[in-house]
């Protein structure tokens, strides 16, 4: 019932893109509205505040991207290969963004989270959730890898957190240095973190 509209979806998508490429603080509601071709009144019809939009935009982005991750981390695939595919996926995504925008953008969850963790509790919690969901994929791969004796870690949960730390940190450095090349070490670094036994050459 009522009047149909794509404004909400458009706002979510534009907001995620702008905030990822720039920052929460430097993207205004007016910018988002202009880019989405939506009036400000409509913005506040759909979202109570800029902060609420950001939370919704990041959740929506996850919703859209989750199937890809499910595929990458499919239990059908050998566990170390899942991680390998994950690393490649991250590299591709960063490369694509960097080519489009002229700079390495890093992890969107980490960027938003670290900018606002001490300022906006709702955003902090959402960033935490999203990062936790990512870690869970890694953890399940590590659990399987351990069961198969492919890996020298004893605690998959702690191991997953370490893997995620090193990935986040490398993405952060790649962003700050604006050097995509750093990501060439992504996969070897991850494998080193978990003490992966040497595999096929």
Interaction site with DNA (CB under 7 A): 1-8, 27-31, 38-46, 48-51
Nearer to a copy of itself, 25 or 75 (CB): 25
Stretch that binds a copy of itself, among 29-37, 39-47, 50-58, 155-163 (CB under 8 A): 155-163
To the nearest 10°, report the CA torsion of 172, 199, 195, 75: 70
The percent of the chain in helix, strand and coil, each rounded to the nearest 5, is 75, 0, 25
Phi first, then psi, for residue 76 (nearest 5°) are -65, -20
By a kind-dependent CB cut-off of 5 to 8 A, residue 40 interacts, out of DNA, a copy of itself, none, with DNA
* Angle of CA points 45, 53, 55, to nearest 5°: 145
By CB under 8 A, is residue 26 in contact with a copy of itself?
yes
Strand-pair partners of 196 = 151
By CB under 8 A, is residue 92 in contact with a copy of itself?
no
Stretch that binds a copy of itself, among 5-13, 24-32, 70-78, 137-145 (CB under 8 A): 24-32
How many CA atoms are closer than 13 Å to the CA of 152, on its beta-carbon side?
A: 9
Interface positions with a copy of itself (CB under 8 A): 21-26, 101, 103-106, 110-111, 113-119, 124, 127-128, 131, 158, 161-162, 164-170, 172-173, 175-178, 182, 185, 189, 192-193, 195
């Amino acid at each position: 019932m009522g009047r149909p509209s794509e404004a909400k979806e458009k706002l979510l998508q534009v907001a995620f893109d702008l905030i990822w490429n720039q920052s929460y603080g430097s993207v205004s509601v007016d910018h988002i509205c202009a880019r989405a071709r939506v009036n400000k009144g409509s913005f506040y019809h759909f979202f109570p505040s800029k902060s609420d939009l950001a939370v919704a935009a990041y959740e929506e982005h996850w919703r859209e991207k989750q199937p890809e991750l499910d595929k990458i981390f499919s239990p059908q695939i050998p566990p170390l290969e899942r991680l390998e595919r994950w690393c490649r996926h991250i590299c591709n995504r960063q490369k694509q963004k960097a080519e489009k925008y002229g700079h390495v953008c890093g992890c969107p969850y980490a960027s938003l989270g670290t900018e606002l963790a001490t300022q906006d509790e709702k955003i902090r919690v959402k960033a935490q959730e999203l990062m936790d969901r990512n870690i869970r994929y890694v953890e399940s791969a590590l659990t399987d890898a351990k069961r198969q004796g492919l890996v020298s870690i004893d605690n998959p949960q702690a191991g997953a957190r370490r893997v995620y730390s090193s990935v986040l940190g490398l993405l952060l450095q790649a962003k700050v240095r604006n050097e995509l090349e750093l990501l060439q070490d992504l996969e070897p670094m991850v494998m080193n973190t978990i003490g992966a036994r040497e595999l096929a050459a």
